Amino acid sequence: MSNQTTLTEFLLLGFSDVPELQILHFVVFLLLYLASLLGNLLIITAITLDHQLHTPMYFFLMNLSILDLGSISVTIPKSMANSLMNKRVISYSGCVTQVFLFLFFATADFAILTIMAYDRYVAICQPLHYETIMNRRACVQMAASAWIGVILYCAVHTGNTFAISFCGSNVVDQFFCEIPQLLKLACSDSDHSEVGFLIFSVCLASSFFVFIIVSYVQIFTTVVRIPSEHGRHKAFSTCLPHLIVVSLFICTAIFAYLKPTSSSTSGLDLVVAVLYSVLPPMMNPIIYSMRNKELKGALSKLIGRRLFSKNKMSIFLLQ
């Protein structure tokens, strides 16, 4: 094609051209990023140090926190740097790396959420076989299979995306390199394979979501038969937050990927992207941990131990 060009960089969409609003964007994203880092690092540290939390549920929760740290670190720092320095440029190789890493962390995150739903299903619906089914070896194998399978999937998806030819504009209508927005820049006769792979991806994500829903239908059917009111409340308080996070993640992601390109403004695109790329990593520590008495106790001991060490050191220095 005569207008086909070889791109060496892309221009990301900013939240605003007004300097004051750019600073506001930087501050808001910085607070969200620090909150996510603090929450997820506390979870990882507490689970690692407390041997009472060395169970399948907390093992997968630690995997989820690691993935959340990676997911939010791929997009937020670059967007903050662009706002602070009043620029929008991202190199071609940087865009490829961002697409692969964000796709990897987001997909692995959803895979771990699916495994966690299975873990809760076995724990509630088959409690007598829980230790046999969810033994240490099985948990490691499931987590490793999720990570390895997602790496292969994301490598093919990323390679397929950047194998297309880009024509004309290099402006990505998003604050990070997002595949649906990159497809808008593709030549009309070169992006059919990627669109097909994108449809396959949506079907795969939908199958994960259906698996989670079916698992929780079985869980709720079992829970309502529990004679103890305390037992029912504990089971529901564990399951409902998980479903809320999964629903938020999958619904916003499917909306971002399936909506027609002309059905929304760029402002709405940005809001949807923030919902599925920024909020889940920040909310997961609160939803999965703050409602859990065992993890709350471990966090309290961890924070209390740190404060005690600092106070002891201060007293020593004053002497």
For the chain, domains (ranges, CATH) are 9-318 (1.20.1070.10)
Segments in the chain below pLDDT 50: 1-4, 263-264, 308, 311-319
Q: What is the pTM of this model?
A: 0.84
DSSP string, 78-116: HHHHHHHHT--EEEHHHHHHHHHHHHHHHHHHHHHHHHH
At residue 186, the pLDDT reads 76
By the 8 A CB rule, do 33 and 80 touch? yes
Four-residue CA torsion sign, 183, 186, 192, 193: negative
State the Cα torsion 203-147-270-92 to the nearest 10°: -110
Strand positions, DSSP E, the chain: 9-12, 89-91, 171-172
pLDDT digits (tens, 9 = 90+) for 104-150: 998 999 899 899 999 989 988 888 889 999 999 999 999 999 999 99
**What distance in Å separates the CA atoms of residue 216 and residue 3, rounded to the nearest whole number?**
52
| Two tokens, residue 31 | 């607070």
At residue 15, the pLDDT reads 73
SS3 3: coil
| Residue found by looking up tokens 């692995």 in the block | 108
Q: Is 246 exposed, middle or buried (0-12, 13-18, 19+ CB in 10 A)?
A: buried
Type of residue found at 27: V
Which residue, among 49, 43, 77, has the nearest Cα to 63 in the 3D structure?
A: 43
pLDDT digits (tens, 9 = 90+) for 202-228: 788 778 888 988 998 898 888 888 777
| Two tokens, residue 79 | 């967007």
Residues whose CB falls within 8 Å of the CB of residue 132, separated by 6 or more in sequence, listed in order: none
| Residue found by looking up tokens 């662009």 in the block | 82
At residue 141, the pLDDT reads 94
Provide the CA 87 distance to its chain's centre, in angstroms: 26
SS3 10: strand
Which residue, among 285, 291, 303, 297, has the nearest Cα to 65 in the 3D structure?
A: 285
Backbone angles phi, psi at 93, to 5 degrees: -65, -35
By the 8 A CB rule, do 67 and 245 touch? no
Type of residue found at 118: Y
At residue 47, the pLDDT reads 86
At residue 138, the pLDDT reads 93
At residue 99, the pLDDT reads 93
